Structure 1
Amino acid sequence: MVKIQPAIVWFRDDLRLSDHPGLYEAASRGAPVVGVYVRDEQSRALKPPASRPLGGATRWWLAQSLRALRSSLEAIGGTLVLRTGPAAAVIATLAREINAGTVFWNGIAQAPHQAVAADVEAALARDGVTSEIFSGDLLVEPRAIRNKENRGLRVFTPFWRRVQGLGDPPKPLPAPKQLASISGIASEDLDDWKLEPTWPDWAGGLRESWTPGEAGAQARLKAFLDDGIKGYTDDRDRPDRDGTSRLSPHLRFGEISPRQLWYAARFTAAEHPRLAGDIDKFLSELGWREFCRHLLFDIPDLAERNLQEQFDAFPWKRDARALKAWQRGLTGYPIVDAGMRELWHTGVMHNRVRMVVASFLVKHLLIDWRAGEQWFWDTLVDADTGSNPANWQWVAGSGADAAPYFRVFNPILQGEKFDPDGGYVRRWVPELAQLPDDLIHQPWTATPIELASAGIELGKTYPQPIVDHKQGRERALAAYAKIRGKD
C-alpha cells in the first residue's frame, strides 16, 4: 500500500475552515494535513510594491483569530503551526521536515501577496513539491472584469452590474469534518509574537466589542440576517442605531468568505421577499469591497498616490496640532469627535460617520488624506488594503468614482440629520450629554445659562470648534480652484 505524503495548507487572510478551497481540497485527498501561518515581515521589503505591516488594532484581531483557528483545527484532529520568516523559506523548510508532497493555499489578488506566493511556489518546485492554488477571496477574479483597454473598471455602478451579470459565484464549500495530522512539529508560541498590547493595554474596548474567529463571524451573520437586515437601507446611515452588519473585520481576516455572505443573503431574500431591497443594499456594500479590491489589483500603490493626478498639486497643510485634535476627538464638532472616540474604543466607526470625519480632515483642515488613511489603518480592526485607501480617496475627490471635492460635508447638518436625538453623540461625547437635542450638534450656539445648566464650559470641558465651518468650506473650495486652474 502506497503511503500518501502529508499536505500543507498555508493560511493567510482566510482564517476559517468552511469555504476554504485549499483546505477542502487538501482534506479530500486523505493525506495528513498540517496548517501553517507564517508571520512574514521580511518578504515585504524584498520586492516592490511592499505589503503593509499590520496596524495595532489588526494585530490584536489577528492574535484572537489565530487562537480561534487553532482551536477549530484541533477540534477536527488538525494542527496549526506558527512560524516567522520569509514565507518561501519557511514553507519549503516545513515541507522538507514532514516530507510534504503538496502545499495548498488560496490566492490573494494583490501584487505583494502574489509576489510572495510566486516565491513560495518557486521554492517548493525546486524541492519537487507541488503547489495548488485556489480562488476564495473574491466573488469574481479581477481578470474577469476588464474594459476594452484590458483595465479594471473605475466606476462602481457598471462594475457591480458586470459582477451581477456573471451570475452566482461558486457555492461555499463545507468545512472538513475530520483531518489526519502529524504530531511533534515545532511551532512558535503566539504570545511571543507580541501582537497584543501590554502596557498600556488599550484593547479593553476591543475585547468588549468583538468576538474574533470563524464562530463569531457566523454568529454575527446569523444575528444580522435574522434581526438586523430589516430596515438596513435606511438604518445603516444612522449611527444612533444598531443598523449595520458589523461583519467587516471578520471579512477582512477571512473568517467568513464573500461567497458565504452572498448565498446567506440570497437565501434570506428568497425566504423573506419583503427584505429584498434591504438585502440588495447589503450586497451592494459587499460589492463595494469587491470594487476596492479590484482597484488594488490594478493599482498596488493605492494608499500612496492620487488616482487623479491633478491632486498631486493640491496645497495640503501641515498642521500637527489640528491632526492630533482630530485623532483624539477634540475638534469641537460633536459628530466628528464622537466618531473618532468610537474608533479608538471599539476599533470601528460607523460608515456614515467615517465619511464625515474624513471630509472634515481633508476639507475643513486641508490635511492630506494619506494622514487620515494611515490613522485609520492603525486603529481600525477592519483596516483593509483596498477599502481603506479607496474610501479615503473617494472622500478626498482624488480617487475612482470619487465624490466631487466641492462636496464638503457639513458636520452640523450631518449630525442633525443622522443623529437627530443626539444618542450617538451622548454615548461617545458624554460631556455634552445634558445638552438638549437642538444644541447637541452645535454647543457653541448655546447661551451661557444653557451651557452652565448642562455642566459645560467651552474651551475647558469641551473644546471650541478648531475651525469655523463656513470659513473651512470656503478655504477648501479656494484650494480646489487652484488645482483646477480657476485662480
Structure 2
Amino acid sequence: MSSPQIVWLRRDLRMADQPALHAAAKAGPVIPVFVLDQERAGDHAYGGASLVWLHYSLESLGKSFGSRNSKIVLRKGDAPQVLAALADEVGATCIHAIRHYEPWWKEAEDELRDALGDERKLCLYDGNYLLPPGSVTTGSGDPYKIYTPFSKAMLERMPPRDVLDEPETISSPGSWPESDDLGDWELLPTKPDWAGGIRAFWDFGEAAAHDRLDWWTDEVAEYDEGRNLPSQDITSRLSPHLHWGEISPAQVWQKLKDKRSDGWRTYAKEIIWRDYAQNVIDQFPDYPRESYREYDERTLWRNPNAGHLIQQDLECWQKGMTGYPVVDAGMRQLWQTGWMHNRVRMICASFLVKHLLIDWRFGEQWYWDTLVDADYGNNGVNWQWISGTGVDSNMFVRIMAPLTQSEKFDAAGYIREYVPELAGLSDSEIHDPPDSKRGDYPVKIIAHKEARERALEAYKASKS
C-alpha cells in the first residue's frame, strides 16, 4: 500500500476544487488534518465570531469526509511541530496544503518544510484565489500596488483555471491517529451563548455555499444598483464561504462568467478585490497593523487608551449607540449576525476614523473579532482605504456624511430592523430623528459639521 498522505487544512474547508486534497487522493491513503494554532497569529488569532464559523464549518466538512469513510484528525498546538510529529507517527511521505499568504502561515510553511527534512515533502498548491498572489505583475515585472491597473490585468487573464471535481475515491489509512473531539475545543460561546443570531442568519459548510451561489446566480444582475441598498440587501453573502474556503473563487467565477449584466461585472471586480488584498499583504505583510503613508499619528488620532472619554466614544461605536441610526444599525447587525452590509461597513468605518478620529486599527481589531468573514488581507486593505492611510486609498478629506448616505440609499427598513426603538418613525424622520422623538435612543455623539471640521483640522496638523 502507498504511504499515507496528510492534507493540512486551514481556510480551505471543502471537498471539491481542493487541489491539495485532489493530489493527495491520487497519491495514497488520505489523512485530513486541522491544527488549531491560536498562538502563531498573535493579535490576529481567530476572533470570537470566526471561532463560531470554524466550529460549524469543521463539523460540516467532517460529515462530508465521514460519508466517504474518512474523517478529519483534529490537533491543537504549534502547527509545524504537530504536523511533523504526525508525519513521523503515520509514516507519511508528503504533507499536501493550499498556500496561505498571511505572514504567520507563510512562516509556518517554512518551518514545516525545515522540520520535515529531506525524507518527507511539503507539497503546496494554489487554490484560494483566482490567480496566485504575486503572479500578476506590471510590464516591468513588479507587483501592482494600485487596484485599478491590477484589476484590468486580472480581467485580461480571466476566466481562471478549470475547477477540480471532488476526488472519485478517498482511501483511508490502515489505522487512524488519535484526534481531539471538536466539542472539547470549546469554540462556541456558552456563558453567555451570544452566537444565536449568527446561527439564525447563516447556513455553514460547502453545501450551503453552493446553495447560496445557486441563489446568487439568479440575483447577480441586480447587484450594480442593489449592492448599495441595505434595506433590500441584494448581496451575495458569499464572503464567509469564500474566506473559509467552503467554495473557491474559481468555482464562483466559472458559474457566473457567461452572465451579461452590469451586476456581474461589478461583482467580478469585487472578487478580484480579494486577490488584490492578498497581493498587498504579500508585499507588505504587516499592512493590517501599520499605516502605509507617513503622517503624525499622535496628531491625527484620538487614542482610546489615553482617556476614558475617548474610550467611551469607541464603546458607543462598538455597541451601536452613536446617535446616527444607520451607523448604529450596522454595528448592531455586526454584533447580532457576524456580518454587515457592504455599504454600511464603509459608513461605519468612516464614522470611526473621521467623525470620532479614532485610529483605524481599533476598528480593524473590532471587525476582526466580530466578523465571520474576518480576513487579514481584506480587513486591513479596506480599513486603510477608508482611513486614507493605504497604498491605494480614499482621500482622508473625503468624509462620508452618514445621514445623507442613509437617506440616499433608503436605509429606513434596515434601521427599523436593527434599531427597533426607532421603528415607529416615518421614512422622513428615521434617518435623523428629532430629539423629541428619540425616546431612549441617544442623541448624536457629535454633530456632523463639527466632526468634519475637527477631522480636517487634525488631518492638516498631521501633515505639517
Normalising by structure 2, report the TM-score: 0.95
Q: Could you tell me which residue of structure 2 aligns to residue 47 of structure 1?
A: none
What's the CA shift string for 1:279-326, capped at 9, x where partnerless? 111110111111111101111111211111125454211300111111
Q: Which letter maps to 2:301?
A: W
Please show how residues 401-480 of structure 1 align to structure 2 within 5 Å.
Answer: 401-419=392-410, 422-444=412-434, 448=436, 451=437, 456-457=438-439, 461-480=440-459
SS at match of 1:231: helix
Q: Distance in 2 between matches of 1:285 and 1:43?
A: 29
Is this contact kept in 1: 2:100–2:106, CA < 8 A? yes
Q: Distance in 2 between matches of 1:434 and 1:101?
A: 66
What's the CA shift string for 1:320-355, capped at 9, x where partnerless? 011111111010010000000000001001110011
Equivalent residue in structure 2 for 1:99, among 69, 91, 103? 91
Query: Cα offset for 1:70?
Result: 0.8
In structure 2, the CA distance between the partners of 1:38 and 1:26, relative to structure 1 (3 Å rule), is same
Q: Which letter maps to 1:438?
A: S
Q: Could you tell me which residue of structure 1 aligns to residue 268 of structure 2?
A: 283
Normalising by structure 1, report the TM-score: 0.91
* Higher alpha-carbon deviation: 423-432 or 475-484: 475-484
Q: Which letter maps to 2:84?
A: A
Is this contact kept in 1: 2:278–2:377, CA < 8 A? yes
Q: Distance in 2 between matches of 1:393 and 1:323?
A: 18
Query: Cα offset for 1:261?
Result: 1.1
- Unaligned stretches of 5+ in structure 1? 45-49
Q: Could you tell me which residue of structure 2 aligns to residue 18 of structure 1?
A: 16
SS at match of 2:34: strand
SS at match of 1:310: coil
Query: Cα offset for 1:224?
Result: 0.9
Query: Cα offset for 1:148?
Result: 6.5
Q: Distance in 2 between matches of 1:184 and 1:266?
A: 42
Q: Distance in 2 between matches of 1:233 and 1:293?
A: 24
- Tell whether 2:32 aligns with 1:35: yes
- Tell whether 2:251 aligns with 1:260: yes
Q: Could you tell me which residue of structure 2 aligns to residue 112 of structure 1?
A: 104
Q: Could you tell me which residue of structure 1 aligns to residue 338 of structure 2?
A: 347
Q: Distance in 2 between matches of 1:258 and 1:188?
A: 31
> What's the RMSD between the two structures over aligned residues?
1.6
In structure 2, the CA distance between the partners of 1:313 and 1:51, relative to structure 1 (3 Å rule), is closer
Q: Could you tell me which residue of structure 1 aligns to residue 306 of structure 2?
A: none
Q: Could you tell me which residue of structure 2 aligns to residue 481 of structure 1?
A: 460
Q: Could you tell me which residue of structure 1 aligns to residue 329 of structure 2?
A: 338
Q: Could you tell me which residue of structure 1 aligns to residue 307 of structure 2?
A: none
- Tell whether 2:197 aligns with 1:205: yes
Query: Cα offset for 1:93?
Result: 1.6
Query: Cα offset for 1:150?
Result: 5.5
SS at match of 1:431: helix
Q: Distance in 1 between matches of 2:233 and 2:387?
A: 27
Please show how residues 380-395 of structure 1 align to structure 2 within 5 Å.
Answer: 380-395=371-386
Is this contact kept in 2: 1:142–1:152, CA < 8 A? no
Q: Could you tell me which residue of structure 2 aligns to residue 166 of structure 1?
A: 157
SS at match of 1:141: coil
Q: Which letter maps to 1:67?
A: E
Q: Distance in 2 between matches of 1:313 and 1:146?
A: 36
Query: Cα offset for 1:41?
Result: 2.9
Is this contact kept in 1: 2:133–2:275, CA < 8 A? no
Q: Which letter maps to 2:34?
A: Y
Is this contact kept in 2: 1:333–1:411, CA < 8 A? yes
Please show how residues 55-94 of structure 1 align to structure 2 within 5 Å.
Answer: 55-94=47-86
SS at match of 1:394: helix
Q: Distance in 2 between matches of 1:112 and 1:135?
A: 17
In structure 2, the CA distance between the partners of 1:311 and 1:219, relative to structure 1 (3 Å rule), is farther
- Tell whether 2:45 aligns with 1:53: yes
Is this contact kept in 1: 2:102–2:376, CA < 8 A? no
What's the CA shift string for 1:233-286, capped at 9, x where partnerless? 00000000130000000111111111111111114x1xxx3xx32111111011
SS at match of 1:309: coil
Please show how residues 247-326 of structure 1 align to structure 2 within 5 Å.
Answer: 247-267=238-258, 269=259, 273=260, 276-310=261-295, 312=297, 314-318=299-303, 319-326=310-317
Q: Distance in 1 between matches of 2:190 and 2:12?
A: 27
Q: Distance in 1 between matches of 2:332 and 2:449?
A: 25
Q: Which letter maps to 2:377?
A: G
What's the CA shift string for 1:435-472, capped at 9, x where partnerless? 11111011126xx4xx2xxxx42xxx110101011000
Q: Distance in 1 between matches of 2:10 and 2:185?
A: 16
Percent identity, aligned pairs only, is: 42
Q: Distance in 2 between matches of 1:314 and 1:293?
A: 30
Q: Distance in 2 between matches of 1:215 and 1:314?
A: 50
Query: Cα offset for 1:114?
Result: 1.3
